[in-house]
Amino acid sequence: MSKRALCVVAGLCLTSPAFAESITYVLDPMHTYPSIEFPHMGISVWRGKFDKTSGTVVIDRAAKTGSVDIVVQADSIDFGLADMNKEAKSDKFFDVAKYPTVTYKGTLEFVGDEPKSVKGQITLHGVTKPLTLEILSSKCIEHPFYKKEVCGADVQATLNWAEFGMQMSSYGAGDAGKTLLRIQVEGARKEG
């Protein structure tokens, strides 16, 4: 699993002036967290985030092209409840022993001068399916401490656990397994 999500994440780097070159941004694991939320038996909403994400976003602003390559460590899921974390990592759901990572590869889609979505493929629970990430917002700045360009974005998509052969028997994903994927993502321009 917007945005290093799954993410997702694609929406990095997106409002700086055009450059006639491809620029690679390395995702910052301290500021990139794919999260999921889904109904719990229709009475509340479970929310969990993945604590370990890595990857890159490559953008050529002049050509209005780009790519996203993200790896999420599935066993880093954290719902804030030990029993739920154990259930999510079990063979009923993410089955982290068999499928330790979630990956996403995609292509940035521009509207005008800004990327607005990422069209790609997610591999989850050993199943690969198309997934489009919507870029809700994005911004690039010169980081005041690092003195280099840093970009970030807020990204989302909807997917269905059932399509990946996943289930949550004791906690119930509800609503036919639909879940909202949200990704907060930041990355720094790669030097050299």
pLDDT digits (tens, 9 = 90+) for 112-162: 989 999 999 999 999 999 999 999 999 988 888 878 899 999 999 999 988
**The pLDDT of residue 46:** 87
pLDDT digits (tens, 9 = 90+) for 51-107: 999 999 999 999 999 999 999 999 999 999 999 999 999 998 999 999 999 999 999
CA atoms of 174 and 53, how far apart (whole Å): 27
CA atoms of 147 and 29, how far apart (whole Å): 18
Strand ranges for the chain from DSSP E: 22-27, 33-40, 44-50, 53-60, 65-73, 77-78, 101-111, 114-124, 127-142, 149-160, 178-189
Share of the chain above pLDDT 70, in %: 84
Count of C-beta atoms within a 10 Å radius of residue 184: 20
Q: Model pTM?
A: 0.84
- Token digits of residue 51: 């604590």
Read off the amino acid at residue 122. Answer: I
* Domains, the chain: 22-189 (2.40.128.110)
Sign of the C-alpha dihedral computed for residues 172, 175, 32 and 27 taken in this order: positive
Unique residue bearing structure tokens 């004791």: 170
CB 178 within 8 A of CB 38: yes
Give the H or E element holding residue 85. Answer: helix 82-89
